Chains A and B, each alone.
Chain A
Amino acid sequence: MHYSFFSLLQNALTGHRGWTPTWRDADPKPGYDVVIIGGGGHGLATAYYLAKEHGIRNVAVLEKGWIGSGNIGRNTTIIRSNYLLPGNIVFYELSMKLWENLEQDFNYNAMVSQRGVLNLYHSDGQRDVFARRGNAMRLHGVDAELLDREQVRTMLPFLNFDNARFPIQGGLLQKRGGTARHDAVAWGYARGASDRGVDIVQNCEVTGFIIENGHIAGVETTRGPIRAKKVAISVAGNSSRVAAFAGLKLPIESHVIQAFVSEGVKPLIPNVITFGAGHFYISQSDKGGLVFGGDLDGYKSYAQRGNLPTVRDVCEGGVALMPMIGRVRILRNWGGIMDMSADGSPIIDKTPVEGLYLNAGWNYGGFKAVPAAGWCLAHLIARDELHPAAAAFRLDRFARGAVLDEKGQGPQPNLH
């Protein structure tokens, strides 16, 4: 069913009885051309672009729970492409461009809102770093504006400009950045893929690989073995576990990051704001809740929940930045499990097992990357060659010493 003003009107006049399920919940077939492990944003986007751009429709997406139950439902919905390193900028800008046309492309309201992302700076040194990043972005054709203190004050008069330790000196603004509705992204891609013949199989956990003569031949699942010519791993948070079924050891640790949403309040925060003196980022959802988060908890975890010291740290950052939110009540908080890679950048590559592809290591940048990760992984699966925008995201870059370390932290995943 194509969604349009006309279909809405027609269903409004007939009591909304004509709506059909958005996508088809399939049972697994014995074999496919391509099996994608993980029914999150990345996996569903990959299936969608495989079917739409490459005409490969005999595809299954296997999800251990229900689609969208992983990190696509556990993020702060921010989209942006304000990166420094050449290998990263090109990729995230491709993603940004796909976001900008996403709703028209898959005919679903993902509520993409380009409300702007503002990174605040609080010292001369930090201003220089941000100016450098802004210049790198502009050289790659990405929009960036360096604002001074008065320009930020005009935009956001409620910030604590005269904090004794961290006075706000200005910010780096990417106007095209913003937010999107996370669940709708999963559902939109699921619908687009399902309409083109992709099987979305839920409650189907992969428990092993079928490998014949060094070539992938399928997967073992809780719903029986499924044969496949090609298999892609797209299971952020559990990449190490799934890759271990194929005997691979990855440069990844799984970490928990917490996020929070407050009670709904009237429109207050017009864009996405990040605090440069601590680690705190905030935006306001269309329902009115303030959505915010901060640092990782710092220790390896598969638990999807965090500890209180981080909650306190995030809230302290928020109140330091904008004291007015001090009395807003937190409605709920959650933890998502991140693939923290050894250099803070992702991996989209082939593996030593022929026909097995890996999409992993998204750190806490997985959401904004959804369209481009799907686009590039689909390209890799369909043509067996790397997409130019993701050419730096090689699995062997660590062994070669060609790491993409945006923050310059070294091989310590919990510091990225």
Chain B
Amino acid sequence: MKPPPFSYHDPQTIPDVIGLLQRLENNRLLAGGQSLMPMLNMRLVLPDHLIDLNKVEGLAYIRETGGALEIGAMTRQREIEFAGAVRERCPLMHEAILQVGHRQTRNRGTLGGSLCQLDPSAELVTVAAALDATVAVAGPKGTREIPFSKFPKTYMTPAIGPDELLTGARFPLWAKNHGHAFVEFARRHGDFAIVSAAALLEEDGAGKIKRASVTLGGVGPAPVRVKELERAIVGSAASDALFRDACEICRKIEAMQDVHAPSSYRQHLAAVLSRRALEKAHARIGGGRG
């Protein structure tokens, strides 16, 4: 539980970070350290250089612009938890963040760290997929935007170049009267979810579902947007039977297995939790408390 030797760098600006990324072989970026530090201590990662982002200016912010919430990569999860803009305009993220680790880990953990770690069970990763977020990445040629659906390259690997860093993410907001729910099943409070489900719903004036988003975390190697389920419910009036039947499709998603649960159990939970999320989101449409 002692890391091997590495060099430590603490740049102050984004260009400095990019310069270090270009210059230093075998580097790792350190954000909140809630995953990287244990991985270093267990020697699961063996970098020669650690580039600490904690002193870099301009990476911590939460702002609402142009129908979206923009959050800086180094924004602490605890700041997201207490941000009025998040609670009022993006209640899905607020509900999810309360289930991220424990308050001690949220004090250090960051949005960018979680998105780049890309644990398929991580709440913020699932939320980003559910909201069709766009991530901003800075590199030697300037800044580019990547839709979150293209962000996971493979299991726990983001589509970021070796000389790039994530600077923030943009979360498009849903209509004010939308319904939302983030539900998860974990064995203990604060654990990574075995399976989580995020649901967003909007209805038209006639009580039919106009827009839907359903995302499952912890099932596949990256969050799974269940488009087929979304299509199956859009255009219909919500009902228990509609949700129950439509969610059965989730049992067919190819699921991971690990020490906590076999894949068949994850598929089962995917159907159960997606239905529960939809029911809860529907009850909250128009400000219902669900």
Do A and B pair up? The answer is no
By a beta-carbon cutoff of 8 Å, the part of chain A in contact with chain B is none
